[in-house]
């Protein structure tokens, strides 16, 4: 069969991003239900029905883009080859290990008796799970025929800890190479708290929408420090939506505790989409849906689907994989 011209394939996906439909995003694949950032989590999210798989990436010592929230192996969720939990503290850095070395470690469970295990008590425990590569996720999604789902990919990089990861340019180039090789450019957004990588995406792949992550709490605030915001200063722009717009963002993704209805309205008036994170309670769903946010990132895509159903909103179709 002759394939249609590439621009005809890309156009509907670009239109999908620009449409007004609500964007239900499964945070780390839906870690409230399945082990975070693993293929079982992403497959479960597809089976439930989501618009977007939200995930995080790092780069190994041999240049492979892998899916991991943490720059180092997290003792709360990582066991060694013998099945023993890693010692408390900071595990080996991902960029210090090759892919082969990384995949000797086991994922799939949360260390029992920890607060993290209590927080996600309903998470399905699994064995034999390894850290996936981004390429493997793309291949699996294609094999399942999930041709409409999108990917919101976070570059896990910290400007205050430059030795913990590869450089912003190395990470951005490696990520874009995988996205292009899989022909997923039109189905991807790239997000980060470290806006340097987003500036690089806008330069190297301007067709890919950038998602500007912000966190503003009593203890953490990435918009007040120019190190995180690629030199853009909040004082020069008055509020966070205007700061994101000035930086070239397509989407503003604030932490749920820092967003208000007024800020949602201001951001949307600037042409930004607003997709708060990480929203898990029915009360928060209801409040933010009432504000008209463009999407929500959640650990519980099943709960958010129910909230959308109760409001009579369109639901993303569950993936039908057959018997």
pLDDT in tens, 41-82: 999 999 999 999 999 999 999 999 999 999 999 999 999 999
Q: Is 214 helix (H, G, I), strand (E, B) or coil?
A: strand
pLDDT number for residue 20? 47
Token match 């849906």: residue? 289
pLDDT in tens, 115-143: 999 999 999 999 999 999 999 999 999 99
Cβ atoms of residues 41 and 29 within 8 Å: yes
Q: Which of 33, 26, 77 is nearest to 52 (CA)?
A: 26
For the chain, give me the number of helices (H) and strands (E)?
11, 9
Structural domain count, the chain? 1
pLDDT in tens, 22-48: 999 999 999 999 999 999 999 999 999
* Structural domain includes residue 317: no
What is the Rg, in whole angstroms, of the alpha carbon atoms belonging to the chain?
A: 19
**For residues 159 and 140, what is the distance between their CA atoms, to the nearest angstrom?**
32
Instruction: Render the burial of 15-49: b for 16+ CB within 10 Å, e for the rest.
Output: eebeeeebbbbbbbbbbbbbbbbbbbbbbbbbebb
Chain-centroid distance, C-alpha 194: 14
pLDDT number for residue 159? 97
> Hey, how many other C-beta atoms are within 10 angstroms of the C-beta on 181?
11
Question: Which residues on adjacent β-strands are paired with residue 189?
Answer: 152
* Structural domain includes residue 9: no
Average pLDDT over residues 145-149: 98
Split at pLDDT 50, 70, 90, the class of 12 is very low
Cβ atoms of residues 68 and 107 within 8 Å: no
Residue 17, pLDDT above cutoff 80:
no
* Structural domain includes residue 226: yes
Residue ranges of the alpha helices (H) in 227-300?
240-247, 261-269, 282-291
Residue 72 half-sphere exposure toward CB, CA atoms < 13 A = 16
Q: Among 8-12, 27-31, 102-106, whose mean pLDDT is lowest? A: 8-12
Q: Which domain holds residue 229?
A: 22-310
* Structural domain includes residue 14: no
* Structural domain includes residue 72: yes
**For residues 143 and 148, what is the distance between their CA atoms, to the nearest angstrom?**
13
**For residues 93 and 111, what is the distance between their CA atoms, to the nearest angstrom?**
19
* Structural domain includes residue 153: yes
Q: What 8-state DSSP symbol labels residue 76?
A: T
pLDDT number for residue 322? 60
pLDDT in tens, 229-283: 999 999 999 999 999 999 999 999 999 999 999 999 999 999 999 999 999 999 9
* Structural domain includes residue 3: no
**Does residue 31 or residue 17 have the better pLDDT?**
31
Q: Which of 55, 27, 256, 255 is nearest to 123 (CA)?
A: 27
Cβ atoms of residues 211 and 275 within 8 Å: yes
Which CATH number do you get for residue 129? 3.20.20.190
Q: What is the mean pLDDT of the chain?
A: 94
Residues 6+ apart with CB under 8 A from 101: 61
Instruction: Render the burial of 283-294: b for 16+ CB within 10 Å, e for the rest.
Output: ebbeebbebebb
* Structural domain includes residue 320: no
Beta strand 188-192 with 65-67 is unpaired
**For residues 45 and 35, what is the distance between their CA atoms, to the nearest angstrom?**
12
Q: Which of 260, 238, 256, 90 is nearest to 164 (CA)?
A: 90
Percent of the chain with pLDDT over 70: 93
> Hey, how many other C-beta atoms are within 10 angstroms of the C-beta on 269?
9
Chain-centroid distance, C-alpha 178: 16
Split at pLDDT 50, 70, 90, the class of 320 is confident
Residues 6+ apart with CB under 8 A from 79: 85, 86, 105, 106, 107, 109
**For residues 277 and 254, what is the distance between their CA atoms, to the nearest angstrom?**
6
Residue 213, pLDDT above cutoff 90:
yes
Residue 15, pLDDT above cutoff 60:
no
Residue 18, pLDDT above cutoff 50:
no
């Amino acid at each position: 069969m002759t394939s249609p011209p590439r621009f005809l394939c890309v156009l509907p996906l670009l239109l999908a991003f620009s449409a007004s439909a609500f964007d239900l995003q499964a945070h780390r694949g839906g870690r409230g239900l399945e082990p975070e950032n693993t293929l079982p989590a992403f497959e479960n999210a597809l089976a439930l029905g989501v618009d977007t798989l939200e995930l995080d990436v790092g780069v190994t010592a041999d240049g492979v883009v892998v899916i991991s929230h943490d720059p180092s192996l997290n003792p709360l969720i990582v066991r060694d080859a013998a099945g023993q939990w890693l010692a408390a503290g900071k595990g080996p850095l991902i960029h210090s290990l090759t892919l082969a070395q990384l995949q000797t470690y086991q994922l799939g469970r949360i260390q029992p008796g920890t607060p993290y295990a209590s927080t996600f008590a309903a998470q399905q425990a699994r064995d034999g799970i390894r850290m996936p590569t981004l390429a493997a996720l793309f291949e699996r999604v294609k094999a399942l025929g999930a041709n409409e789902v999108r990917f919101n990919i976070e570059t896990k990089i910290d400007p205050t800890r430059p030795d913990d990861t590869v450089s912003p340019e190395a990470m951005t180039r490696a990520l874009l190479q995988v996205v292009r090789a899989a022909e997923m450019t039109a189905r991807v957004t790239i997000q980060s708290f470290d806006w340097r990588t987003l500036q690089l995406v806008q330069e190297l792949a301007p067709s890919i929408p950038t998602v500007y992550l912000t966190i503003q709490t009593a203890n953490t605030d990435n918009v007040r420090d120019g190190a995180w915001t690629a030199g853009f200063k909040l004082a020069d722009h008055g509020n966070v939506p205007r700061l994101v717009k000035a930086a070239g963002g397509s989407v503003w993704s604030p932490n749920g505790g820092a967003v208000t209805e007024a800020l949602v309205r201001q951001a949307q008036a600037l042409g930004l989409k607003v997709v708060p994170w990480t929203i898990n309670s029915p009360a928060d769903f209801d409040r933010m849906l009432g504000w008209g946010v463009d999407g929500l990132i959640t650990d519980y895509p099943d709960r958010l689907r129910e909230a959308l159903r109760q409001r009579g909103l369109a639901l993303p179709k569950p993936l039908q994989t057959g018997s």
